[in-house]
Structure 1
Amino acid sequence: MDFANRCRHFRRLLSLTVLLAPLSFAQGADLPAEAASQTGPATKPLILYSVLSEYPNVVSYAFTRKTGIPVEIIEMRGSGAAMARLQYERRSGNGDIWFGGSLGSHIQAGAEGYLVPYVSPQTTKLEPLLGGPFMEGTVNGLYGGILGIVVSKPFLQERGAPVPKTWKDLADPVYRDMIGMKSPLVSGTAFTTLISMIALMGEDAAFDYFKALHQNVEYYGKGQTYRVSTGQIGIVITFYHEVVNSIEDGDVAFIVPPEGVGYEIGGLSIIKHDGQDVQKAQAFIDFALSWEGQSLIKNAGSDRIPTYSKLYKEQNQQIKLQDVTLLPLDFEWAGINRQRLLDRWTQEVASLEKKR
């Protein structure tokens, strides 16, 4: 590791130490006896497959300080990539925990037998809308988020385009090549958008909508939040917590369509594989869903919505989940039908040529 990388590594460890300093840790506390008795220098680390960045780092650091159980994080490039990895490994891998990403992907994994059922004692303290458990106890709700339309007002003004107010507005040809979007084939955000429009319009009408919207999408890919925040694109569909800091300067606006919005639930699951230590994985789930673990969402610089009920009610965001009209999302139906919906997207939307 060169000097610059060592410095960055040190600063990261230092920032985590500062973030977690107010917390008190008791070695092995609140662990099943089997897990607490196996902590020590030679303890095999828990392996996290994570689609998030800072949040799992902070939670894992706190969990290790509390229990002595080391954690290794393997980053995934979205919910689709995490699901594809489980399907490829077919229980022969070494991943223990799937941390974050769309609930639909987790539910699909549970339905296909890749997850271990576990209902944490913390479940009774979680907000019913978000906390679960889901899919016969294989998936827990880790955090929530509000889906909406994000616009760069200067970008639209320069091109003489109005600020959209509804979901259907986005299919108007006036927004040709002004919209940035991720693909539901790899992105949990985009899959949540897909099932939200199905809840609003019905499946066939929703796919007709996305065919029209396709003509206005400049390209499908990552980095869309950054692009709209810096005025490189006019419109993006994403979660409020992704852009809340950008809204403060006035050039970026988050639109809550009056017909209702979708919302995400980030999943937290135990991955099934041969030779795993289920007690340690359960201890991690318990910690991540506890008041202590959920309090770390803010410490990690995230504006995601905690599922822990007391923290959920104490949100100080300008736009709150409980104050908006929510579309009736059926996450279990979406998870079970996820592959079919993605296949239909590939056939009917992704393959569609753009009109010029």
Structure 2
Amino acid sequence: MKLRTAAIAAGVASLPAFAAQAAELNLICSADVVICEKLVSEFGNSHPDISVNMVRMSSGETYARVRAEARNPQTDLWWGGTGDPHLQAAAEELTAVYESPMLPELHDWAVKQAEISGNRTVGVYSGALGWGYNTQIFESKGLKEPACWSDLLDPGLKGEIQIADPNSSGTAYTTLATLVQLMGEDEAFEYLKQLNANVAQYTKSGSAPVKSAARGEAGLGIVFLHDAVSQSVEGFPIKPMTPCEGTGYEVGSMSIIEGAPNPDEAKIFYDWVLTADVQNLMPEAGSFQLPSNKAAVASEHVPDLGEIKLIDYDFAEYGGAERRRELLARWDAEVGGRATE
């Protein structure tokens, strides 16, 4: 009897230690924080046995963190943010190979992202690059509606434009890569140096510029169009625009980290978030991107990519680590260094 009592006591004593080993998932989310929190909340409802530790970071910051943690990964899954840094991480084998059973349910552009990366990443949403401008500010200052990239060089816009820093923001890197593909590299950098005269601030987050414009702190923010639409839907005087010359687009992506401490939980989240039911919830969080699941119903506010003049964005080249380093180094030397002048 004493032995039985001792065994029971030992079992009870071990419960806290067992509970500490409960399943968990370490997630970095590179979308708007409201969307990130929505995903975590819904996943918790569907999988209450898995505790999610979520950190919101821009895609450029996440890429840098994943590289820094390569020898001792602390992150399991990276969701959202532009596809270029996901492809760069894949090229460096910082992310794990995983062929989700959900792939047949996805649009071709989402599957192509997986194919380019050797199944180390996948497309979760898509959206075009553009800007949103504050109609009240433009009207009060007598400024012309900016319909083209060239219009952003108007001297009247001095101090009115915000765009993110491409070192930290995938949105801004997509802008940089878009202009290089649209104009040619030398011409694009000449354009960016001229644009710098009108830029009031280079933000860390890609969506921050249009949020500043919505608050009246700037006249215009260069962002993905869905971020401008989100501010408009919330009732701010923001008009979304895409440039007449043409523009790039993103394939927001998702990757499991190579050597992740919780790979099984990462795969559960990965497959879950690719379902139509989950993607149908995104507009509730102000997400107006085009969902990757073919059965998901896009919000009525989602910009129609078929009506936008899109360039043939080369994800393979501009998602390459070496190309990224070259463009960012040149931006730092010729544009970023002038930001404080």
Give TM-score scaled by structure 2 length: 0.84
Q: Which residue of 1 aligns with 2:11?
A: none
Shift of 1:311: 2.0
Q: 1:104 aligns with which of 71, 81, 84?
A: 84
- The answer to whether the Cα contact below 8 Å between 1:214 and 1:354 also exists between their aligned partners in 2 is no
How many residues are treated as equivalent by the alignment? 315
Q: 1:297 to 1:49 in 2, by over 3 A?
A: same
Q: 1:283 aligns with which of 264, 268, 280?
A: 268
Q: Which residue of 2 aligns with 1:121?
A: 101
What SS does the corresponding residue of 2:80 show, helix, strand or coil? strand
Matched, 1:332 2:312: no
Shift of 1:310: 2.3
Q: Which residue of 1 aligns with 2:336?
A: 350
Task: In structure 2, list runs of 5 or more residues that go unmatched.
Answer: 1-18
What SS does the corresponding residue of 2:266 show, helix, strand or coil? helix
| Counterpart Cα distance in 1 of 2:27 and 2:153 | 39
What SS does the corresponding residue of 1:116 show, helix, strand or coil? coil
What one-letter code is carried by the residue in structure 1 that aligns with 2:311? L
CA RMSD of aligned residues (A): 2.4
What does the per-residue CA deviation read over 1:148-168, in whole Å, with 9 as the maximum and x for residues that have no partner?
121112222333321111012
- The answer to whether the Cα contact below 8 Å between 2:288 and 2:299 also exists between their aligned partners in 1 is no
Greater CA drift, 214-223 or 151-160: 151-160
| Counterpart Cα distance in 2 of 1:183 and 1:139 | 24
Shift of 1:41: 8.0
- The answer to whether the Cα contact below 8 Å between 2:225 and 2:242 also exists between their aligned partners in 1 is no
What does the per-residue CA deviation read over 1:207-230, in whole Å, with 9 as the maximum and x for residues that have no partner?
111111111101111532222112
Q: 1:77 to 1:213 in 2, by over 3 A?
A: same
Q: 1:90 to 1:156 in 2, by over 3 A?
A: same
Q: 1:347 to 1:68 in 2, by over 3 A?
A: same
Q: Which residue of 2 aligns with 1:83?
A: 63
Task: In structure 1, list runs of 5 or more residues that go unmatched.
Answer: 1-39
Q: 1:282 to 1:154 in 2, by over 3 A?
A: same
Q: Which residue of 2 aligns with 1:323?
A: 307
Q: Which structure has the greater CA radius of gyration?
A: 2
Matched, 1:44 2:28: no
Q: Which residue of 1 aligns with 2:248?
A: 262
What one-letter code is carried by the residue in structure 2 that aligns with 1:234? G
Give TM-score scaled by structure 1 length: 0.81
Matched, 1:60 2:66: no
- 1:63-74 paired onto structure 2 within 5 Å: 63-74=43-54
Q: Percent identity?
A: 30
| Counterpart Cα distance in 2 of 1:315 and 1:64 | 24
| Counterpart Cα distance in 2 of 1:198 and 1:81 | 22
What one-letter code is carried by the residue in structure 1 that aligns with 2:27? L
Q: Which residue of 1 aligns with 2:290?
A: 305
Shift of 1:172: 2.8
What does the per-residue CA deviation read over 1:275-300, in whole Å, with 9 as the maximum and x for residues that have no partner?
x3433322221111112222221233
Greater CA drift, 119-128 or 57-66: 57-66
| Counterpart Cα distance in 2 of 1:90 and 1:162 | 48
| Counterpart Cα distance in 2 of 1:267 and 1:163 | 32
What one-letter code is carried by the residue in structure 1 that aligns with 2:62? A
- The answer to whether the Cα contact below 8 Å between 2:290 and 2:302 also exists between their aligned partners in 1 is no
Matched, 1:146 2:132: no
| Counterpart Cα distance in 2 of 1:81 and 1:266 | 15
Q: Which residue of 1 aligns with 2:237?
A: 251
